[in-house]
Amino acid sequence: MSTFKTEAIILAKRPLKDADRLYIMYTKDHGKVEAKVRSAASCKSKLAGQVEPIVLTRVMIARGKGFDTIAGAQLVRTFLFNDQAFGALAAELIIKFIKPGAADVRIFDLLLSYFKAAEQDNLPAEKIKILTLRFIWQFLSLLGYQIDTNGHSYGELPALSQASRDLLDGCLKQKSQLTILKTSTKVVNEVAVFTQNCLRYFLEGDLQSYKFSFYPSALSSGNHQTRP
């Protein structure tokens, strides 16, 4: 049985039979990997606490005929957000867009940079939204998607205002670390709706965590609407 060691960002976990759990992670050297931990739901499990979403960990993976198995793990860092919905959004984005086995260290570095920036203490909601939009569009750019700010390529969306185009241009500028751009709430909301509709077009469906991240108050009141 072959094994490998790598750094991994744990994205999500799912129940398997009995007390086993399947963990979905994005690794530095092997891209997206799905691997199980036997008896992870047991209170005696020594590995489960090292691979909970959303954390950075070093893992040893044993290849298997069915699922790969996490044979060892060492927790490196836990990411604590003021709003965990944004961590869930980034994880869902990776899970839905990336297929297992397609390694790209740029995506790993971008995701790690986003998590480090987003967990800043007392980060206002408006600023984490801008940070998240920047992460999303840099991620899409790495996958080869191109911005059409007139909306003609993405289901005939309304054209963006010049201020929103400027924000998108800022989101795509490559820097060593993700930083928080400055703009107005109105522009952020316009770009958020545009981004949501682009993601819907690319995926042919919605990211469930997007609305919890960007429109929590609208969800509670039932007033949020997006273009069909």
SS3 of the chain: the string is CCEEEEEEEEEEEEECCCCCEEEEEEECCCEEEEEEECCCCCCCCCCHHHCCCCEEEEEEEECCCCCEEEEEEEEEEECCCCCHHHHHHHHHHHHHHCCECCCCHHHHHHHHHHHHHHCCCCCCHHHHHHHHHHHHHHHHHHCCCCCCCCCCCCCCCCCCCHHHHHHHHHHHCCCCCCCCCCCCHHHHHHHHHHHHHHHHHHHCCCCHHHHHHHCHHHHHHCCCCCCC
pLDDT, tens digit (0-9, with 9 covering 90-100), for 137-191: 999 999 998 776 665 555 566 678 888 888 888 888 766 455 667 788 888 999 9
Q: Are residues 69 and 88 in the same domain?
A: no
Higher pLDDT, 125 or 30: 30
Contacts of 181 (CB under 8 A, 6+ apart): 130, 134, 167, 170, 171
Partners of 70 in the β-ladder? 61
Q: Are residues 165 and 125 in the same domain?
A: yes
Q: Are residues 110 and 173 in the same domain?
A: yes
Q: 23-27 long-range CB contacts below 8 Å, 24 or more apart?
A: 23/51, 23/70, 24/91, 24/95, 25/51, 25/59, 26/94, 26/98, 26/107, 26/108, 26/111, 27/59, 27/103, 27/108
Q: Are residues 151 and 170 in the same domain?
A: yes
Using a pLDDT cut of 90, give the percent of the chain over it.
38
Higher pLDDT, 36 or 66: 36
pLDDT beyond 50 at 136: yes
**In this structure, is residue 228 part of a structural domain?**
no
For residue 162, give its domain range: 84-221
pLDDT beyond 50 at 228: no
Q: Are residues 97 and 200 in the same domain?
A: yes
Higher pLDDT, 65 or 150: 65
Task: Please give the pLDDT value at position 184.
Answer: 84
Select from 61, 78, 95 the last residue of a domain: 78
Q: Are residues 52 and 146 in the same domain?
A: no
Task: Please give the pLDDT value at position 36.
Answer: 87
Task: Please give the pLDDT value at position 55.
Answer: 92
pLDDT, tens digit (0-9, with 9 covering 90-100), for 12-22: 988 888 778 89
Higher pLDDT, 204 or 223: 204
Q: Are residues 112 and 181 in the same domain?
A: yes
Task: Please give the pLDDT value at position 217.
Answer: 57
**In this structure, is residue 227 part of a structural domain?**
no
Q: How many domains does the chain have?
A: 2
State the CATH number of the domain containing residue 31: 2.40.50.140
pLDDT, tens digit (0-9, with 9 covering 90-100), for 94-109: 999 999 888 999 999 9
Among the residue ranges 36-40, 52-56, 77-81, 110-114, the one predicted with the least confidence is 36-40
Pairing of strands 68-78, 31-37: parallel
* 122 confidence band (pLDDT: 50, 70, 90): confident
